[in-house]
Amino acid sequence: MSTNSSTNVAHEEEHGHEHVHDLRDDYGSKLGMWLFLFTELLLFGGLFLLYMAYRFEYFPEFQLSAKSLKIWMGGLNTIILLTSSLTMVLSIIALQRRKIKASIYWLITTISFAFGFLVVKYFEWSDKFSHGIFPGGEELALKTQGEKIFYGLYFSMTGLHGLHVIIGMIILTFILVFIVKGKVSPDRFVLLENGGLYWHLVDLIWIFLFPLFYLLH
């Protein structure tokens, strides 16, 4: 990432009689964002801890249940998210190189990929729901405790991740509007970078969720 205009703290006096200093500190903004991402990782960390404990306790049931998840659907979503991370970076680079149109185009592509992820997720979850496998579902009620816990974790973790995808889409859409309005510009793109960081986090968490639920059986 380019670091021009981001290492020193600059003061800009706002116009008019409003003597409020606008403190611009791009490096500080990114530092704050990284700290926030750290808290997001820990939020999921609690769930990963539960996964670890329960996988240890219910090892055979976890292996059995994992077989029922469709690898191709999870795999497709993995490809979608990884590609969306690429388009996210392309959008940032385009803006840094003053190609505003390209930046907007890549950002829209990223948001579309995020939407695509949710569509696949929707079909995946409705497939499970139609088989009576959801918390409180009649089919799941007949299964063993270990399987119930597996699906409990599956729905909690992919659900929370899905929520983050939606939040990420909202954030990126706001940034898109800011780029169109010129508030985020080739001279002031730290917001886009931070949005990108958030999006990479969403991607990263999925990269751990995919093998834990789909591949380990």
Looking at the Cβ atoms of 91 and 194, the one nearer to other proteins is 194
Q: Is 10 in the site for other proteins (CB under 8 A)?
A: no
Q: Is 12 in the site for other proteins (CB under 8 A)?
A: no
Q: Is 167 in the site for other proteins (CB under 8 A)?
A: no
Q: Is 63 in the site for other proteins (CB under 8 A)?
A: no
Q: Is 15 in the site for other proteins (CB under 8 A)?
A: no
Q: Is 32 in the site for other proteins (CB under 8 A)?
A: yes
Q: Is 31 in the site for other proteins (CB under 8 A)?
A: yes
Q: Locate tokens 């706002």: which residue?
A: 14
Q: Contact region for other proteins (CB under 8 A) — 20-28, 124-132, 167-175, 192-200?
A: 20-28
Query: What is the contact surface with other proteins in residues (CB under 8 A)?
Result: 9, 18-21, 23, 25, 27-29, 31-32, 35-36, 38-47, 49-50, 53-54, 57-58, 135-136, 144-146, 148-149, 151-153, 155-156, 160
